[in-house]
Homo-oligomer: A and B are copies of this chain.
Amino acid sequence: MKKNIEPCYYGDYLQLDKILGAQSLESKKYGEPAHDEMLFIIVHQVYELWFKQVLHELNAVIDTFTPERLSDTDLIGVVHRLNRIIQIQQLMNDQISVMETMTPQQFLAFRDYLVPASGFQSIQFKRLEISLGLKREYRIDFDKQSFYSRLTDEDRALLEGLEAKPSLFELVDRWLARLPLLKTADFDFWQHYKQATDTLLNNDKDTIENNDTLSDKEKRQELNDWQSTRENFDALFDSSQYASLRKEDKFRLSHKAMLSALFIKQYSEAPIFNLPFQLITALTEIDEKLTIWRYRHAMMVQRMLGTKIGTGGSSGHHYLKKTTESNRIFSDFFNMATFLLPKDMLPPLPASVSRYLGFYLSESTANDSAK
């Protein structure tokens, strides 16, 4: 035992008087307490505790990414924390099954007392979205409006302050863009890459054209999709074309960050790319789990309320389904698979890249071993 440490008691340490004294049923105020309102309160309080923990990890990750350079040790810490967030998300997704033990009728027993409270007012959830990188312009109309009308002035100020700061998305974008992969990879490399991808895409076109199971209409549709993939691909090698597709929201990552990420995914088995690859994979996973949460949440609300309005005075289910796809943040990491080559078509990793990155990413090691 360290010296001068005061004894610590379980209940005091966890402040259980506050935690366990924070459930008061609205239904009790107005008459008969509704047995199931307790579940409703506790499920939401648990969500808020997990949000606090996720924000704790996320803010630490954002702090790590804020300086210009970060070491491999820093990256290890970041990946560890993102993986912890993923574990918590898994739990939050499964928690919907607990909420679903409440029947619509059990909910109706106290719904009317909660007006106009609404999950939209969870400041922590909004902080989480903004810190990850959800921009106000991506939000659906209803959600944009809610900033102005549903929040207290103080909360709105807090969130607007947060919107002014760089999000994790932006910081990761800048970090990827800064990686010196592209300067050193010489022209031949990208030429080779472009040719290989051309071959791949043309094979795909053949496959569509020779697919007798498609009707003419479907074939046209598939060829249109192919054409659009083709154009996205061409944009990879043309900054101004990329910029214009980005304006249409077809890409969110900057051009340089996109190329770096592609590079990392292509050569993920190279030791120097192992940590960056783990980072990209963890962010993809976080986006996926958040999307599943939104989707399951929307279905749970539909099951509980049908098309009735929620306590916030609007049809929640409707709203939530819409945000499921529109609020995705790292969707570029999903779509990126479009541009990946199989290993046997890959140009070998340019020595210059490997050398430079080795130096950069594993700075201290390399310095030591270079002595």
Contact = CB atoms under 8 A, between A and B. Distances in A.
A362 B23 contact: no
Contact of A369 (B76, B115, B124, B362): B362
Interface in A21-54: 21-24, 26, 30, 35, 38-39, 41-42, 44-46, 48-50, 52-53
A112 interface: yes
A365 B49 contact: no
Copies of this chain, complex-wide, total 4
Interface stretch (A161-169, A172-180, A181-189, A331-339): A331-339
Nearest to A355: B368
Contacts of A7: 115-116
Interface residues of A, number: 151
A356 to B, nearest CB: 9
A48 B77 contact: no
Contact of A222 (B5, B117, B284, B309): B309
Top 6 nearest A-B pairs (CB, nearest first) are A306-B338, A306-B337, A10-B121, A108-B342, A72-B271, A211-B313
A5 to B, nearest CB: 6
Interface in A114-132: 114-124
A244 interface: no
A115 to B, nearest CB: 5
B19 A48 contact: yes
Interface stretch (A83-91, A235-243, A253-261): A83-91
Contact of A308 (B83, B104, B111, B229): B229
A299 interface: yes
A214 B46 contact: no
A157 interface: no
B76 A52 contact: no
From A206, A214, A296, residue with most partner B Cβ within 10 Å? A214
A48 B16 contact: yes
B208 A309 contact: yes
Contacts of A208: 309, 313-314
Nearest to A314: B222
A359 interface: yes
